[in-house]
A = this chain, B = another copy of it.
Amino acid sequence: MFESAELGHRVEKEAYTLEVSGLREALLDSQYDLVAAKKFPVILLVAGVDGAGKSAVVSTLNEWMDPRHVQTNGFDAPTDEELHRPYMWRYWRALPPKGKIGIFDGSWYTWPINECGNGRIGHEVLDQDMELVRRFEQMLIDEGALILKFWMHLSKGVQKKRLTKLEADPKTSWRVTPRDWKHFKRYDALREAAERALRLTSTADAPWIVVEATDARYQKLTVGRVLLQALRARLDRPSTGPAAVKAPPAPPALDGLNVLRALDLSKRMERVDYDRELEAWQGKLSVLTRHKRFKERAVVLVFEGSDAAGKGGSIRRITQAVDARLCRIVPIAAPTEEERAQPYLWRFWRHLPGRGKILIFDRSWYGRVLVERVEGFCAEADWMRAYGEINDFEAQIAKSKAILAKFWLAISPEEQLRRFQERQETPFKRFKITEEDWRNREKWPAYEAAVCDMVARTSTEIAPWTLVESEDKLYARIKILRTLCERIEEAL
């Protein structure tokens, strides 16, 4: 993989100067087209071996383009807010919005390649990590991002010479750290880890571009040309319709059975039992959330369900039991302008809680495969891919030691009708019922199919769905509280 980057490529000064002036102008032109169109973000990774001039390339790109529309990200030790959240959180928060170029000097590759090269994780773990990275980047691409990944390469001999030379010059000696020499000692192992990582993540849409870093002019010109070409090609591409669907939806159940219809909606609870159980489970939840080890975990709750299924009331029974300062409810409505300029899941990532906190999503990322699917708010290909993206998202939440629980509140269409009518008659519940709710009701079968697909595809071991028989509100609330307590108890 690195052979073609050990050939001693170089560019003479005159040729460089000559080409650069045209290149700069063309890059600037393309950049302004990008800014004006605001159609997609550019994510540019500058990775590679130590001493391979990565920061010089980053500086040059900033110089060649208008730095006001470039966001350059370096990643030192994570802050404590970052440490308390999933590994990818710090990269999500650094993603450029549409129209901007985000340069990543250091990225989601840095840690796995270093760890593997230094023998702290094996190939299996690296491979797993790279598979996640591959899917993450595929998601970015599906969301419209242009991804360019540059790997700056130096042969062992050249790297040694380079580090020695940098160190000798007082002006540049600061650039060489003891860590660089430590890395150099493991050159072969790091090279092997990098090659493996690059091979696994070089895809048709986001290939790695290995650049020989021996000659700075060759290196910069290569990066500049590739960037220009990719930008131009993407800007000039006629905007196509939504991508073709990649997989057929789940087959309909031939016998009319499905997970929703299989629920026993006749389950109910007497008021006297409810009062007793409510006190017991709320007490338990209160104790659990004050547990010493709870401070090391976060809780993410997802509430979905038909309109009027009782989400609000159930959420309130939880918030009553826990310290209000630890708890936040995010009601999901239409995305804001800043959210629309980012990949779909960004607006959920941004809210992820730190340790010791509880975040409740009142409706969630599942809107993609429910309302957006049924109402046609997004293309079929988009909601089809969402299942996998959601599973990856939830796997990362779970991996960060957060406790994730997802509730679907199920009621019958008859019960929904009864509640709608009741709401219209109760003055302080009027706000809860809108024209849209009545319209949605007419699409009951389509929603039912969407829910069944959702459960089939996203109820995973690490993030199972709890289907809650909600025909009787009292029964539903207790089941939710009990499930939540059990999940937390299990985790502590």
Establish whether residues A68 and B338, one from each chain, have CB atoms under 8 Å apart when the complex forms: no
Residues of B within 8 A of A25 (CB): 428
Interface segment among A73-81, A107-115, A125-133: the answer is A73-81
Residues in chain B near residue A486, CB distance under 8 A: none
| Residue numbers in B under 8 Å from A316 (CB-CB) | 63, 67
Complex: A336 Cα to B73 Cα, angstroms: 23
Interface residue? A396 (CB, 8 A):
no
Contacts A79-B79, A80-B80, A337-B336 known; A324 to B62 CB distance under 8 Å? Answer: yes
Q: Which of A403-431 contact B (CB under 8 A)?
A: 428, 431
On chain B, the residues within 8 Å of A329 by CB distance are 67-68, 70
Cβ of A324 and Cβ of B58 under 8 Å apart? Answer: yes
- Do B362 and A74 touch across chains, with their CB atoms under 8 A apart? no
Task: Check B331 against A103 for contact (C-beta < 8 Å).
Answer: no
In the complex, what residues of B have CB within 8 A of residue A323's CB? 55, 59, 74
A241 to B350 CA separation, bound complex (whole angstroms): 37
1/0 per residue, CB under 8 A from B, across A44-66: the answer is 00000000000100110011001
Pick the residue among B36, B72, B315, B362 that contacts A324 (CB under 8 A): B72
Q: Roughly how many angstroms separate A306 CA and B6 CA in the complex, as a whole number? A: 51
Interface of A (DSSP majority class): helix
For the complex, give the distance between the alpha carbons of A336 and B327 in Å.
27
Q: Are B55 and A325 in contact (CB under 8 A)?
A: yes
| Residue of B whose beta carbon sits closest to that of A55 | B323
Are B79 and A29 touching (Cβ within 8 A)? Answer: no
User: Within 8 Å of chain B (Cβ to Cβ): is A320?
Assistant: yes
The 8 A CB mask of A31-47 against B (1 = contact, 0 = none) is 01000100000000000
Specify which chain B residues have a CB less than 8 angstroms from the CB of A166 in the assembled complex.
none
Given contacts A25-B428, A59-B320, A320-B59, contact A325 B32 (CB under 8 A): no
CA distance A337 to B338 in the complex (A): 8
- With both chains docked as a complex, state the minimum distance between the C-beta of A352 and any C-beta of chain B, in angstroms: 14
Verify if A249 is at the interface (C-beta below 8 Å from B). no
Interface: A372 (CB within 8 A): no
Determine whether A328 belongs to the interface, using a CB cutoff of 8 Å to chain B.
Answer: yes
Chain B nearest CB from A70 CB (Å) reads 8
Cβ of A328: which chain B residues have Cβ within 8 Å of it?
Answer: 71-72
B55–A319 contact, CB under 8 A?
A: no
A134 within 8 A of B: no
Residues of B within 8 A of A320 (CB): 59, 62-63
Cβ-defined contact, A319 with B79, below 8 A: no
- Whether the Cβ atoms of A74 and B428 lie closer than 8 Å is no
Q: Chain B contacts of A362 at CB under 8 A?
A: 68
Which of B29, B327, B338 touches A428 (beta carbons < 8 Å)? B29
A54 to B: closest C-beta gap in Å: 10
A72 to B329, CA, bound (A): 10
Closest to A72 in B: B324
Chain B residues with CB below 8 A from A312, complex form: 66, 68
Q: Does A457 contact B (CB under 8 A)?
A: no
Known contacts A81-B81, A336-B337: A28-B428 contact under CB 8 Å? yes
In Å, the complex CA distance between A79 and B79 comes to 8
A69-105 with Cβ < 8 A to chain B: 69-74, 79-81, 103, 105
Answer yes or no: A326 CB below 8 A from chain B CBs: yes
Q: Are A327 and B68 in contact (CB under 8 A)?
A: no
A sample of 8 inter-chain contacts (CB < 8 A) reads: A36-B431, A63-B319, A68-B362, A70-B329, A71-B328, A72-B328, A103-B324, A336-B338
Q: Which residues of A contact B (CB under 8 A)?
A: 25, 28-29, 32, 36, 55, 58-59, 62-63, 66-74, 79-81, 103, 105, 174, 290, 312, 315-316, 319-320, 323-329, 331, 336-338, 354, 362, 428, 431
Known pairs A67-B327, A79-B79 / 15 extra A-B pairs, C-beta < 8 Å:
A29-B428, A62-B319, A62-B324, A68-B362, A70-B329, A72-B328, A74-B323, A74-B324, A79-B354, A80-B80, A81-B81, A105-B324, A174-B290, A336-B336, A336-B338
7 pairs of A and B residues whose beta carbons are closest in the complex = A74-B325, A72-B324, A68-B331, A68-B329, A337-B337, A32-B431, A58-B324
